[in-house]
Amino acid sequence: MNLQPEHLLAPERLAPDIIVIGSGPGGAVTATRCAEAGKSVLMIEEGPHLALESAPHFSREEILQKYRNAGINIGFGATKIAYVEGCCVGGGSEINRGLYHRTPQAVLDRWRRDYRVDALTLEELTPHFDACEAVARVEYLPGPAPQLSTRLDEGAQRLGWSSLEVPRLFAYAAAGAGGSPGRKQSMSATFVPRFLDAGGMLCSVLDRDGVRAAMRDVDVVHHNAALVAQTDAGRDYWNVNVEGTRIVCEEAARAGVRSLIHVSSTAAYGIPPSGPITATTPLRPVEPYGKSKRAGEEVAEAICTAADMTLITIRPRATLGGGRLGIFQILFEWISENRAVYVIGSGNIKFQFVHAHDLMDFYMLALKAGRSGTYNVGTDSFGTLRHDLEALIRYAGSTSKVRSLPTAATINTLRALHWLRVSPLVPWHYLTYHKECYFDVEPLLAMGWRPKYSNEAMLQESYDWYRQSAKLASAVTAKSPHRAPLKQGALWLLKMIS
């Protein structure tokens, strides 16, 4: 199941005792132990659930299936580092060599001291290490090491360095067992099956059997799972946003579901027109994300119409509120540090947002009305982009200034940076940021919907949440330099000179 901050789970359907984010070695072990202890556990993973042998290890096919960004990631800083990262059920254990270390005593001592965690001595953790290693088959080589490993060991000894064999999550085959060296013991091959056997919940919209099981005895389906624009998911947009929608709608129809609510996107319209976007504005998406959302809408409409199922499609404007960061984190960070804030063009364009609470108020209103329809949802109180940004800067007490960038040159530069994968801004951002974008919400107001938040109010609330969260994070990590901010890529250089 792919969940972004925009995604809303229907509380009447999913009410687990515990939610575990991530299915790598940390998440899979935690989720399994909780499920086996009788807890209702939902494990959430961004990528697909694939068999360990779905592609040959370290092959091109595996890289495209299981690696984030097809294996192209760059960490920016004083030293730029290229790295690979898993993006599938099982996380990094599905793609790496499975090297295994028990947590060293010095690290446990530091954690116990800095984070005040009891029962964290090596002696106390040894039974837990043993239990995990038994399931994951942590093993040393059963025979002589390969020649390259032997040469590495000899070189270390000549230099006076210490050298040791590192065990792996690998079930080595007995000598002469068909010529196979054995099988890697990734999470998808070890803890994830145990988690599912214990009643744990792990489902992707691409898992037809899982979706079918979820539809049993359901009257209303809330389809909010998607790959959003910020993921820059390439062809996976189509897999999840179109084929995933097809599976959800087909299985809902098969189960006799009464109503389906499908959350789409403004991106289905493409480049926003001058003036308000209305029910008659044509859908002309221009980039992969928007095209996938429009196609997903068409699939849902065709299936629901044929099944005589009520279909409510909601296209929200960019959503704000406490807890929303993503691309807004860059804006809030720059304002808090008194950096310049940039707009493409003059910024004197009408630009509309919607607060998460107002969105959900209309969501429930549309569900209660029980009529098929497509609804564009945004606040009825907004100004120009420049005005609202300047109002936020004043509210924050910042010395930041809103500065304009030339339209054509900026778009071309951002297009090149995106192609080089060194910018977090995807085509939906840089192709529309200079265009006014707002919905005509009169039809929603006529239904009785009354949004409570203006652009200014929701930006202020989101900024306050960001600042408070930054303080809490600073307090927790004050003794460690380690942090995980949003990767700004080449924009970091612009920030430094602003």
Burial class of residue 299, CB neighbours in 10 A (0-12, 13-18, 19+):
buried
For residue 5, give every residue at least 6 positions away whose Cβ sits within 8 Å of its Cβ, in sequence order, or none.
323, 324, 325, 326
Verify that 168 and 224 share a domain, yes or no. Answer: no
Instruction: Please check whether residue 206 lies inside any domain of the structure.
Output: no
Verify that 190 and 322 share a domain, yes or no. Answer: no
Instruction: Please check whether residue 7 lies inside any domain of the structure.
Output: no
Domain count, the chain: 2
Verify that 364 and 322 share a domain, yes or no. Answer: yes
User: What CATH number is given to the structural domain containing 463?
Assistant: 3.40.50.720
Report the chain's terminal Cα–Cα distance, integer Å.
39
Verify that 176 and 106 share a domain, yes or no. Answer: yes
Instruction: Please check whether residue 13 lies inside any domain of the structure.
Output: no
Tokens of 356: 């998460």
Instruction: Please check whether residue 88 lies inside any domain of the structure.
Output: yes
Domain range for residue 120? 18-194
Verify that 143 and 68 share a domain, yes or no. Answer: yes
State the pLDDT at residue 180.
63
Cβ of 142: how many Cβ atoms within 10 Å? 11
Verify that 108 and 160 share a domain, yes or no. Answer: yes
Verify that 327 and 448 share a domain, yes or no. Answer: yes
Verify that 294 and 402 share a domain, yes or no. Answer: yes
Inter-residue contact 389 to 403 (CB < 8 Å): no
Q: What is the DSSP letter of 287?
A: S
Instruction: Please check whether residue 327 lies inside any domain of the structure.
Output: yes
- Select from 135, 159, 194 the last residue of a domain: 194
Cα 27 from Cα 44, distance rounded (Å)? 9
Verify that 71 and 127 share a domain, yes or no. Answer: yes
Verify that 409 and 445 share a domain, yes or no. Answer: yes
- Select from 151, 178, 194 the last residue of a domain: 194
For residue 206, give every residue at least 6 positions away whose Cβ sits within 8 Å of its Cβ, in sequence order, or none.
48, 239, 240, 243, 244, 247
Instruction: Please check whether residue 205 lies inside any domain of the structure.
Output: no
Instruction: Please check whether residue 207 lies inside any domain of the structure.
Output: no
Instruction: Please check whether residue 199 lies inside any domain of the structure.
Output: no
Verify that 181 and 37 share a domain, yes or no. Answer: yes
Instruction: Per residue of the chain (498 residues), give pLDDT as tens.
Output: 333 333 333 334 456 788 787 888 988 999 999 999 998 888 877 777 888 888 888 888 888 888 877 777 666 566 767 778 888 899 889 998 888 888 888 889 988 888 888 888 889 999 999 998 999 889 998 888 889 889 999 999 999 998 888 999 998 876 544 456 888 999 999 999 999 888 888 877 887 877 887 787 888 888 887 877 766 667 778 888 999 999 999 999 999 999 999 999 999 999 998 899 998 999 999 888 999 999 999 999 999 999 999 999 999 999 998 777 778 888 898 999 999 999 999 999 999 999 989 999 999 999 999 899 999 999 999 999 999 999 999 999 999 999 999 999 999 998 888 888 787 788 888 888 889 999 999 999 999 999 999 999 999 999 998 888 765 444 333 332 223 344 676 676 777 776
State the pLDDT at residue 73.
66
For residue 341, give every residue at least 6 positions away whose Cβ sits within 8 Å of its Cβ, in sequence order, or none.
331, 334, 335, 389, 393, 400, 401, 402, 403
For residue 245, give every residue at least 6 positions away whose Cβ sits within 8 Å of its Cβ, in sequence order, or none.
205, 223, 262, 296, 299, 300
Verify that 165 and 223 share a domain, yes or no. Answer: no
SS3 state at 75 = strand
State the pLDDT at residue 475.
37
